[in-house]
Amino acid sequence: MSEEKEVLLSVSHLKKYFKVGRNATLKAVDDVSFQIYKGETLGMVGESGCGKTTCGRTCIGLYDRTDGQVLYDGKDVHTISGKEKQNFKKKVQMVFQDPYGSLDPRMTVAEIIGEGIDIHHLAKDKKERQDMIYHYLELVGLTMEHANRFVHEFSGGQRQRIGIARALAVQPEFIVLDEPISALDVSIQAQIVNLLVDLQKKMGLTYLFVAHDLSMVKHISDRVAVLYLGTLVELTTSKELYENPQHPYTQALLSAIPIPDPEIEQERDANKIRLAGEVPSPINTPPGCKFRGRCQYATEQCAKEMPPLTDIGNEHYVACYRCRKN
């Protein structure tokens, strides 16, 4: 009998809408449900503008929800207050996409990392505070000599390491990684991903890894959620998704992953799935399945109602009328 997984974050029918103009509403996250288990990495992928970042921020309370529920360790993220909310802010952190814009240029590295330690009163004196700062710098591959420098003195990869150290300094359980490698050089990306994997093993962390680089998502994720126009269209284990993609959108995404071998890539080029049509506006989404305007398999049923996320077996969930339980 397999060991039952412990749910850390549970998202139910989450919606996050933004008012744009007098009568328009942008549906950034539209009725999304999923769970994240303790100690795992859930990858969240999709095209730019699909709602990945908004979903991650709403899950940890940086954005207020429009509707739905987010439970962290059984408690509603959007209704907790007082000491409970302060404790939640300590347990949950975020590493932002832009290592240049997410760090205060007027603060030294020690001040950036020490800020969270001070807010949550994690050090009993200045010596312990300093030791903690040095410890977290060392954890992310930097040294104590870096502590008194300013962020403009560092490369992009080093700045992202500082951002990770800042998140770790409050001893969190869960970290939202918002495209943490997309602004970095390709040569540095693998280093940061390997660092995140190593930290997860050492500290028992749980990640929501938001990205559009599907090869990196495969490397780091236990399960993968695919978003299209704010809607979850496929959710399964990383192995199952890459070996047996079911949703037409997922199949198109995976077929577009480049292979670093010109001969193989040239052979694959003829078999790549090229989506026709334009991505609908998230302000005026069409009725039915949001993907139907670009889908070669669309039927009349697809135009009437958005297909529900359905369990087709083997921990595989798909929002498509073509897919049925095995």
Q: 227-272 pLDDT, tens per residue?
A: 999 999 999 999 999 999 999 999 988 887 766 656 655 555 556 6
Place of tokens 């660092």: 195
**pLDDT at residue 214, rounded to an integer:** 83
- The DSSP call for residue 326 is -
pTM for this one?
A: 0.91
Q: Which two tokens stand for residue 157?
A: 């990869």
Helix runs in the chain, H state only: 52-59, 82-91, 109-119, 126-139, 156-168, 186-203, 214-220, 238-243, 248-255, 262-269, 300-304
**pLDDT at residue 279, rounded to an integer:** 75
Return d(Cα 324, Cα 305) in angstroms, integer.
17
**pLDDT at residue 186, rounded to an integer:** 82
Which residues, 6+ apart, have CB-to-CB distance to 164 below 8 Å? 95, 140, 180, 192, 195, 196, 199
**pLDDT at residue 268, rounded to an integer:** 56
Q: Which two tokens stand for residue 50?
A: 């699909």
Q: Which stretches of the chain score pLDDT less than 50?
A: 1-2
Strands 223-228 and 41-45: parallel
Return d(Cα 235, Cα 315) in angstroms, integer.
8
**pLDDT at residue 1, rounded to an integer:** 37
Q: 143-176 pLDDT, tens per residue?
A: 999 999 999 999 999 999 999 999 999 999 999 9
**pLDDT at residue 16, rounded to an integer:** 96
